[in-house]
Amino acid sequence: MKSIKVLIFFAIAFAFQFSYSQGCEGPGEGDGIKIFGFIQPQYERTFTGVNGEATPDNDMGGFFFNRARLGVMGNIPYDFSYYFIMEYAPSGGFGICDAFVSYERFKPYMSVSMGQFKAPFGAEQLQGCHKLYTIDRSDVTNELAGPIRDMGVMFAGGTGDKIKIGEGVTNVIGYQFAIMNGEGRDVLDDDYEFVSLSDQLKTYVARLTFTPSQYITLGGSYKSGKYTPADVTATKDDSRTRFGFDAAVKYKNFTLQGEYISGTDEGSYTTGGGCGGEVEVHEGSVERSGYYLMALYKTKWNIEPVFKYESYGVDKMDEVELEDSHVMRWTAGFNYHFNEWTRLQVNYQYNLTEGSLPFGTPYQDVLQIQLQAIIK
């Protein structure tokens, strides 16, 4: 049944990315400093119940900043650019979000960036936070594509020909390849001070996109790395591998977007790490997979209804096949664009497991309301 779902998914959507960039805006022409950022104040209320019986005493709701970012970017004579942004967010606290320097003499065919930036894996992960169609990224992106940011060096470019898609342009063929620490943002490799450079464990991330027309973009991602064993008695390094395929179809004001990611972890596995969240390491081997499908339509009244379905879970743990282990989520809502800088998002998430819920199992639905203002 699971393989049928995957085949159906691939028939509908194979792979996509809006551009081969980091989901960030560029500094444009000239050598001046550009100040930019955005704030996302949000109200969120969770509805907790047990087997269909609501428990109001456990419901939680309140106001907070989902994200608040402020940064600078610009060009440096000659052929260099920089990008630096700070963030305050409940998941990641206050600190550096992105900070990298790029050499762009051979752009658009190739540019080289060094610093801290998004790992070039997956479509949804690379989509800018202020351009997401739903308030939250999907579980499969947060759990398997991450850590969303890391330290390293990246080579990126494309064929140089431009295809208009949505509000931007992209290359017919684009690529990214990064060598990264693999530990997440603001963190150095655990072995940095104890082994030679040639022996340090690194993570390799690659992404390829293909945009045959203005209506569709296809692409795929791959990540592989070795890590210091979580089990101190282990005789070999832990390893993690990720495959991802994603797609977007745009026709006039209609958008269909989907993504599938699978991952194999040997020796240890991580949870979390999406959108600046903390990465937790657990002992054991696991195979996980998931996908999402999302559709939206922007009306002439600047209201954009959106519907998203996602499934994510564990397929195998320590060589044991698991059944009914995937969690499903439906997200329904709308985006209202006051103008090009200000947007209101309203989402309702309905969460459920694939298998029947044992008596006493809690479930949780979430209502989210976010107002976003872009600083330019």
pLDDT tens digits, one per residue of 164-197: 666 666 778 999 999 998 888 776 555 545 455 5
CA distances to 39, 168, 196, 211, 249 from 296, rounded to whole Å, are 23, 18, 50, 20, 11
Pull the structure tokens for residue 360.
Answer: 């006493």
Kindly give the confidence (pLDDT) of every residue in the chain, 376 residues in length, as a single tens digit, with 9 standing for 90 and above.
Answer: 454 444 433 333 333 333 334 555 666 666 678 999 999 999 998 876 654 454 555 567 889 889 999 999 999 988 999 999 999 887 667 888 999 999 999 988 999 999 999 999 999 999 999 999 999 999 999 999 988 899 999 999 998 877 766 666 677 899 999 999 888 877 655 554 545 555 578 999 999 999 888 889 999 999 999 988 877 777 888 899 999 999 999 998 999 999 999 999 998 887 776 666 667 788 889 999 999 999 999 999 999 999 999 999 888 888 777 766 778 899 999 999 999 999 999 999 988 765 444 444 555 788 999 999 999 8
Pull the structure tokens for residue 199.
Answer: 């022996």
3-class state of residue 216 by DSSP: strand
Backbone angles phi, psi at 289, to 5 degrees: -160, 165
Would you tell me how many other CB atoms lie within 10 Å of the CB of residue 185?
25
DSSP 313-374: EEEEETTEE-SS-EEEEEEEEEEEESSSSEEEEEEEEEEEESSPPPTT-EEEEEEEEEEEEE
Indicate the pTM of the whole model. Answer: 0.84
Would the CA dihedral through 113, 119, 123, 128 be positive or negative?
negative
Q: 224 - beta bridge partners? A: 204, 241
Q: Which of 270, 98, 73, 54 is nearest to 186 (CA)?
A: 98
Largest CA distance in the chain: 66
pLDDT per position as a tens digit, 104-140: 999 889 999 999 999 999 999 999 999 999 999 999 9
Would you tell me how many other CB atoms lie within 10 Å of the CB of residue 251?
10
Beta carbons within 8 Å of 97's beta carbon, 6+ residues apart: 69, 71, 85, 86, 87, 149, 185, 276
Please give the angle made by the CA atoms of 70, 28 and 20, to the nearest 5 degrees.
Answer: 85
3-class state of residue 10 by DSSP: helix
Domain covering 2-375 in this structure, CATH number: 2.40.160.10
Can the peptide bond before residue 291 be classed as cis, meaning omega within 30 degrees of 0? no
Phi-psi region of 150 (alpha: psi -120 to 50; beta: other; left: phi over 0): beta
